[in-house]
Amino acid sequence: MMKKQRIVLYSAMAVLAVAAGGGYTAWSMHKTTNTPQAASTAPLVQTASPDGKKVPVSALVANPPSGAHVQSFTLTAQEKSISLGGKTIQAMTFNGTVPGPLLQVRQGDLVEVTVRNQLRVPITVHWHGIPVPGSQDGVPGLTQEPIRPGESHVYRFVADRAGTYWYHSHVNSVQEIGLGLYGGVVVLPKNQIAPAADRDYTLLLHEWSTTTSSSADETMGHTAGMSGMDMGSMGNMGGMDMGSPGGETHMNEMNGMNMGGAGGMNSMSSMSGMAGMPMGAPSLRTQGFQVTDMDWSALGEMAGMYDVYTVNQEAGGKTLLEAKPGETVRLRLVNAGNMTHLMTVIGTPFKVVAIDGRDIANPTPIENQLLPMGAGQRYDIEFTMPKNGPVQLVSGDPEDRARTQLRATIGDAAASGTGSAPDLPDVQHEPWFDFTRYGSGSIPGVQTFTLNQKFDKTFNMDLGVGMGQSGMVYTINGKAFPNVPPFVVNTGETVRIHIENRSAYIHPMHLHGHSFQVLTRDGKPITGSPIFLDTLQVLPGETYDIAFRADNPGLWMFHCHDLHHASAGMDVVVQYAGVTDPYNPMDMSE
């Protein structure tokens, strides 16, 4: 009955890199012990603060004001057949839908989410962009034990900050998010000053692989010995080797092939830039870069493996959103995939009112610009419905399939009849929206950093690639996780990070638990509204300076949200001194 389908579990290089890296990955809960301890040149987290005090991350819990309004939800992770673009996929869902239910709360609410795991694999839930307490961040082996099959777990945090966020599993994320374990979170402002939009829609963009013939490893030329990654019949999840926690079988196979070992991973420095972007190369942007100049190897290495693109539950561009002439519309766009998507609105000017849940000061109307949405990012846009005709949300992605499918029509359903989408607009040559000079002035009540101030801590984050013994890895400062030394900070410190992308790939870098302010791009100061992000899309050759205040103690991943890159080394931990990981990572292997 179910067509036999092949879905990619990991990219080949991800598996190889994990195996070669000594086994630990915050993406898979696994920390194998069968590679030499010497493989790790730096502890994942250090154990003591300067004053010698220690606190386990598990002790960093929510401290709600008494009488806080409680919003309770239950998310049940379960398998479900869903129909996408005429194809049936055995998905991993929250409450039977993809995306999972939209969690809408009011700023200041105490949010309690009971997660029940009815899948055959472990999961967690990470609250992307929300500054939750340290113990609630959902990173397996670092901030909690994974939620094993049959188990439940309660997440608890105060929704301190309004904005658009999302949630997703953080275990084997390429697979678990890829198969549907994600949903949106909207925190409405406590004291709404401006009137709310007449229509407020949250739209999650995602990519799917439903093909039988193409898979990531083939697409990427990593084919040898990878048949173990075939998930087999999707009609029976048990046949996918997903029953063993986190794809352990695969890991062990890889280790058994003696692809691990200490050698390959520890001295990547000489390999940085080997993907064709030497140090100091001018950024693509300063060369007058347009998306059409860039092939998929940069914009989305994985494009070949994805054949269905969705806006919420709809594939094929069939989404129809009700709005009447003259009404104001807010679209909360969430990129819940791994690829960059270039979204825009046609039919009316629009404003970018927030990015990554953080308001833009004095946004101005724009037209004919593509919003370059990195993986994990959110763009909130607002517009007024014109007197006549629908408004369209469309994609300017280079790929025809993405452009055809990543679209929605906003209008009067009755007036526009069946909701059949108008012709595919030709928008892919439009310039990219530039957040570094958009908006103006300041955001009331928000403290900002200045470029010339003194920072308590400064770190470099050089993004590169390298070759492990058995395949390509993505590196930070020349090393692949878990060998990337942590960025250690003290509570209250101001922190500046200089980021350089020395690879030929886009890296949407996501910091857990904080927003950071973007200070410069390619050495030039930001001139518009202050910009606070939790996910910064760093194009090949670009440099950025970002800053944040260390105001949320914990152990926080800072990683690429192209999850193929994350699972192949591009992660670092921002560690508050003295916060320890009680989950004993090296003992979790079996």
Query: According to CB under 5 A, which residues from 486 to 515 bind Cu ion?
Result: 507
**76-84, 383-391, 522-530, 560-568 -> range binding Cu ion (CB under 5 A):** 560-568
CA 505/CA 540 separation, integer angstroms: 6
Reference 6, options 128, 120, 97, 89; nearest CA is 89
Listed in order, strand segments (DSSP E) in 428-534 are 457-467, 472-476, 487-489, 494-501, 507-511, 516-521, 524-525, 532-533
Closer to Cu ion by CB, 378 or 565: give it: 565
**258-266, 400-408, 521-529, 557-565 -> range binding Cu ion (CB under 5 A):** 557-565
250 lies in the site for Cu ion, by CB under 5 A: no
Closer to Cu ion by CB, 57 or 563: give it: 563
Query: According to CB under 5 A, which residues from 189 to 248 bind Cu ion?
Result: none
CA 170/CA 175 separation, integer angstroms: 10
State the minimum distance, in angstroms, from the CB of residue 571 to Cu ion: 10
State the minimum distance, in angstroms, from the CB of residue 562 to Cu ion: 4
Closer to Cu ion by CB, 110 or 560: give it: 560
**Are residues 15 and 229 in contact, defined by beta-carbon separation less than 8 angstroms?**
yes
**Are residues 377 and 335 in contact, defined by beta-carbon separation less than 8 angstroms?**
yes
Closer to Cu ion by CB, 84 or 538: give it: 538
**Are residues 399 and 296 in contact, defined by beta-carbon separation less than 8 angstroms?**
yes
CA 519/CA 547 separation, integer angstroms: 7
**Are residues 230 and 240 in contact, defined by beta-carbon separation less than 8 angstroms?**
no
Cis-peptide into 99, omega within 30 deg: yes
Closer to Cu ion by CB, 329 or 465: give it: 465
**Are residues 77 and 118 in contact, defined by beta-carbon separation less than 8 angstroms?**
yes
CA 491/CA 212 separation, integer angstroms: 50
* CA dihedral of 551, 555, 558, 563, whole degrees rounded to 10: -140
560 lies in the site for Cu ion, by CB under 5 A: yes
Largest CA distance in the chain: 68
Closer to Cu ion by CB, 507 or 514: give it: 507
Dihedral sign computed on CA atoms, order 263, 265, 269, 270 = positive
CA 3/CA 569 separation, integer angstroms: 34
Closer to Cu ion by CB, 79 or 562: give it: 562
Closer to Cu ion by CB, 394 or 572: give it: 572
Reference 343, options 390, 291, 307, 297; nearest CA is 291
**156-164, 515-523, 527-535, 556-564 -> range binding Cu ion (CB under 5 A):** 556-564
Closer to Cu ion by CB, 430 or 562: give it: 562
State the minimum distance, in angstroms, from the CB of residue 339 to Cu ion: 11
State the minimum distance, in angstroms, from the CB of residue 551 to Cu ion: 27
Closer to Cu ion by CB, 43 or 304: give it: 304
Cis-peptide into 133, omega within 30 deg: no
Which position has the token pair 């939800």?
Answer: 73
- Which residue type is seen at 122? P
Closer to Cu ion by CB, 137 or 562: give it: 562
**20-28, 36-44, 494-502, 552-560 -> range binding Cu ion (CB under 5 A):** 552-560
The H helix count followed by the E strand count for the chain is 7, 34
State the minimum distance, in angstroms, from the CB of residue 508 to Cu ion: 7
Query: According to CB under 5 A, which residues from 426 to 465 bind Cu ion?
Result: none
State the minimum distance, in angstroms, from the CB of residue 564 to Cu ion: 8
H or E, element range at 546 = strand 543-549
State the minimum distance, in angstroms, from the CB of residue 111 to Cu ion: 30
Closer to Cu ion by CB, 402 or 506: give it: 506
Q: Coil, helix or strand for 104? A: strand
Closer to Cu ion by CB, 240 or 560: give it: 560
Ramachandran class of 441: left when φ > 0, alpha when ψ lies in -120 to 50, beta otherwise? left
Among 98, 284, 565, 574, binds Cu ion (CB under 5 A): 565
**284-292, 370-378, 519-527, 563-571 -> range binding Cu ion (CB under 5 A):** 563-571
State the minimum distance, in angstroms, from the CB of residue 513 to Cu ion: 20
**317-325, 488-496, 554-562, 573-581 -> range binding Cu ion (CB under 5 A):** 554-562
State the minimum distance, in angstroms, from the CB of residue 376 to Cu ion: 11
- Tell me whether residue 509 is exposed, middle or buried, using C-beta atoms within 10 angstroms of its C-beta: 0 to 12, 13 to 18, 19 or more: buried
* CA dihedral of 161, 163, 168, 170, whole degrees rounded to 10: -50
State the minimum distance, in angstroms, from the CB of residue 276 to Cu ion: 15
Closer to Cu ion by CB, 300 or 390: give it: 300
Among 562, 574, 576, 579, binds Cu ion (CB under 5 A): 562
Which position has the token pair 């007449």?
Answer: 198
577 lies in the site for Cu ion, by CB under 5 A: no
Q: Which two tokens stand for residue 415?
A: 């007036």
Number of residues that bind Cu ion (CB under 5 A): 4
**92-100, 164-172, 215-223, 558-566 -> range binding Cu ion (CB under 5 A):** 558-566
CA 242/CA 252 separation, integer angstroms: 14
State the minimum distance, in angstroms, from the CB of residue 375 to Cu ion: 8
State the minimum distance, in angstroms, from the CB of residue 461 to Cu ion: 12
State the minimum distance, in angstroms, from the CB of residue 566 to Cu ion: 7
State the minimum distance, in angstroms, from the CB of residue 474 to Cu ion: 6
Give the residues lining the site for Cu ion (CB under 5 A).
507, 560, 562, 565
